[in-house]
Amino acid sequence: MASPTERDEGAAVGGRHAPAPTVDSPPGARLPTRSGPLAAADLWRDRIEAAVSGFLLGGAILLVVYTVLVRYVSAAHAPVYTDEVTVYIVMWAVLVGCGGITHKRLHVRADLVLHVMSDRLRFICEVAANVAGFAFALFLGWYGFLVAYEAWDFNDLSPTNLRFPLWIYYGALPVAALLMAVGHLRVAIALLLTGPRPEPVAHASEV
Amino acid sequence: MGAGVLVGMFGGLLAMGFPIYLVLGITAITLLWITGTPMISVTQKIVDELNSQTLIALPFFVAAATFMERGGIARALIDAASSWVGRVRGGLGLVCVIGCMIFAAMCGSSVATAMAMGTILVPGMLRQRYDRHFAAGVVGASGTLGILIPPSLAMVVYGVLADESVPKLFLAGVVPGLMQAALIGGWVLYYAHKRGYPRTQATSSGDFWRVNIAALPAFSLPVIVLGGIYGGLTTVTEAAALSAFVAVLISMFVYRSIGVADLLPLMADAARRSAAIMIIIVVALVFGHWVTESGMANAIVRWVQEHELQQWHFFLFVTILLLFLGMFLEVFSVLLIALPVLLPLLGPLGIDPVHFGMVVVINMELALLTPPVGLNLFVLASITKAPLIEVIRGTVPFAILLGLMLFLVIALPELSLWLPRVVLG
């Protein structure tokens, strides 16, 4: 979601004046705005991803707070599954968020050398990084899927009393990898369509 | 062959501007493929390692910091600190140090601390005719306290990688954190006196009580986090979630800096900020898997033993290495790249992992201030509207003070180890 709260505090390098800490748009990170069905699909994907990850993270916080409070009021009624379930929820929230940072090109990187490259060479590196990212995400997604599938096939359950089906938790990794693969592909295509540009590249996202 | 592939591929991809997660991931996968490790076992290890209660404290703390940055909490702290020390010459600089110290005790991020405090204090300092480079330097250096004074995101990551107690690490940061704040405060007073910076107007008794009472909800945050953990009431993860929850409540209902409509976007923002770290952790786990599988860790330990390396050799090497990496990478990337290789050496060299953790964290504070890639520098350049070179000039004296602090923490392990021993036994 193109929220005005998203910041990239690492928004300058190499002795240049730093622009205002922005949002989801470090200088040069945002590709030219396009209209049409692809842009609309991007917007909705972004909104859904942000809503899912935000909702899950907020829900996990509420669950932990509820558990802590109930534990001190009536320990017998405190949910015993919170520790375990919270991990699953938070990992889903965070891994789903990986798609958004890929689309917005907010992955942390050292881009110092890129700034002394010619526009063309930088363009090649940018495209190469996204193609490699696409391939790596597919790799991660495929093996992540195999792990989740095996857990489903063998009915792997967590070793706690909850006996949680582990494929649900394991599924976060291939889903995140798929979202990242789509993100890298989308960025690579957009770069190829726009060609080399005399602009700084995306910068590290702060955390 | 492994080491050659590692260095060549790693350096090449890094220079080409590949995201850190890709640099680590592609290198590790290639190395594991060379050693014939089944890839499905690698993925299995990733999901198993991510299944960690401690690790999820990280997104919770990031969520807390995201809400705290929104102004209301920082403003209340600054008003309260102004009522305490504002009348001293250069009082606003001192307010910055104290404000950052307290803010650091709520959120675990240096950049969030510098951002929240700097946005309010830098314009104030400039209005009082403080030198722009000095204003930037104070905020930048004080902001680094965010990862030294507990809670600390960097310590959570270190704790997970080193399999060390996070509460113990948090405690270990208290004494060095207070010392660092005192060093920075001392320099602020000296410089303010030298440059004749003004005092702020005395606060009336009524105002004093008003601003301090208004700041009470903000002060409750460190009490919840640290009181919860060390009072045995909550785990680190629970304290982090409570901190995020209370930060939301205070921001919404007390300081009114956010509305209901901001909740979901801010949570999503926090999840994405966490994702940027977590994806590097995912691949760093693969990299760590290779370090173990390939026997590299054992080889390094053997090499150290054969060459009879002393502790000070190691600390010198680590400081140079982290300083170098910190010039080009941000905190979590440095931690996740360097620690899998460095941690196996602690045992043979007889170094306490908690002590080493503090050495690493102070090195990371320096990384935040060292060009060309120092996140606090960028934040300050944007807040002060100053050229980066001017911000760097302002942070130099403070970076020297941090260097002195690093030396003290290396030379005197008790600075880090005394408090955890007293509190936790």
Which residues does chain A have within 8 Å of residue B19's beta carbon, measured at their own beta carbons?
107-109, 129, 133
Interface check A108 vs B, CB under 8 A: yes
Which residues does chain A have within 8 Å of residue B238's beta carbon, measured at their own beta carbons?
64, 67-68
Which residue of chain A comes nearest to B331, CA vs CA? A207
Q: Chain A 71-90, CB below 8 Å of chain B: which residues?
A: 72, 83, 86-87, 90
Q: Which residue has the higher pLDDT, A26 or B282?
A: B282
Alpha helices in B250-352 (DSSP H): 260-293, 296-306, 311-328, 331-342, 346-349
The pLDDT score that the predictor gives to residue A160 is 87
Regions of chain B where pLDDT drops below 70: 1-3, 71
What's A206's DSSP letter? P
Q: Shortest Cα distance from A51 to chain B (angstroms)?
A: 7
Are the Cβ atoms of B47 and A98 closer than 8 angstroms? no
> Would you say residue A7 has pLDDT above 70?
no
Which residue of chain B comes nearest to A151, CA vs CA? B44
User: Which single residue is written with the structure tokens 């891994």?
Assistant: A95
The pLDDT score that the predictor gives to residue A14 is 30
The alpha carbon of residue B315 and the mean position of all alpha carbons in its chain are separated, in whole angstroms, by 20
Interface check A141 vs B, CB under 8 A: no
In this predicted complex, what is the ipTM?
A: 0.86
Residue B203 CB neighbour total at 10 angstroms: 18
The pLDDT score that the predictor gives to residue A204 is 35
> Would you say residue A12 has pLDDT above 80?
no
Q: Which band of pLDDT confidence, cut at 50, 70 and 90, is reported for residue A88?
A: very high
Instruction: Identify the residue among B109, B262, B269 best suited for mutation to test binding to A, counting A beta carbons within 10 A and taking the highest.
Output: B269
Closest CA to B274 of B149, B112, B117: B112
Are the Cβ atoms of B53 and A83 closer than 8 angstroms? yes
Whether the CA torsion B248, B252, B258, B263 is positive or negative: it is: positive
Tokens linked to B122: 């830098």
Q: Chain A 42-71, CB below 8 Å of chain B: which residues?
A: 49-51, 53-58, 60-62, 64-65, 67-68
**Strand partners of residue A8:** A22
Q: Which residue has the higher pLDDT, A123 or A195?
A: A123
d(Cα A76, Cα A83) in Å, to the nearest integer?
Answer: 16
Element (H, E) at A195: none
The pLDDT score that the predictor gives to residue A75 is 87
The pLDDT score that the predictor gives to residue B254 is 92
Q: Shortest Cα distance from B365 to chain A (angstroms)?
A: 14
d(Cα B12, Cα B216) in Å, to the nearest integer?
Answer: 52
Contacts of B319 by beta carbon, 8 Å cutoff, 6+ apart: B359, B363, B406, B410
> Would you say residue A4 has pLDDT above 60?
no
Which residue of chain A comes nearest to B67, CA vs CA? A5
Residue-wise pLDDT for B187-222, tens only, equals: 999 999 999 998 877 778 899 999 999 999 999 989
User: How many helices (DSSP H) and strands (DSSP E) are in chain A?
Assistant: 5, 0
The pLDDT score that the predictor gives to residue B269 is 92
> Would you say residue A17 has pLDDT above 70?
no
At residue B391, the 3 state secondary structure works out as helix
Residue-wise pLDDT for A127-172, tens only, equals: 999 999 999 999 999 999 999 999 999 999 998 888 999 999 999 9
Q: Which band of pLDDT confidence, cut at 50, 70 and 90, is reported for residue A31?
A: low
Percent pLDDT > 70 in chain A is 78
The alpha carbon of residue A196 and the mean position of all alpha carbons in its chain are separated, in whole angstroms, by 26
d(Cα A66, Cα A79) in Å, to the nearest integer?
Answer: 9
Are the Cβ atoms of A13 and B373 closer than 8 angstroms? yes
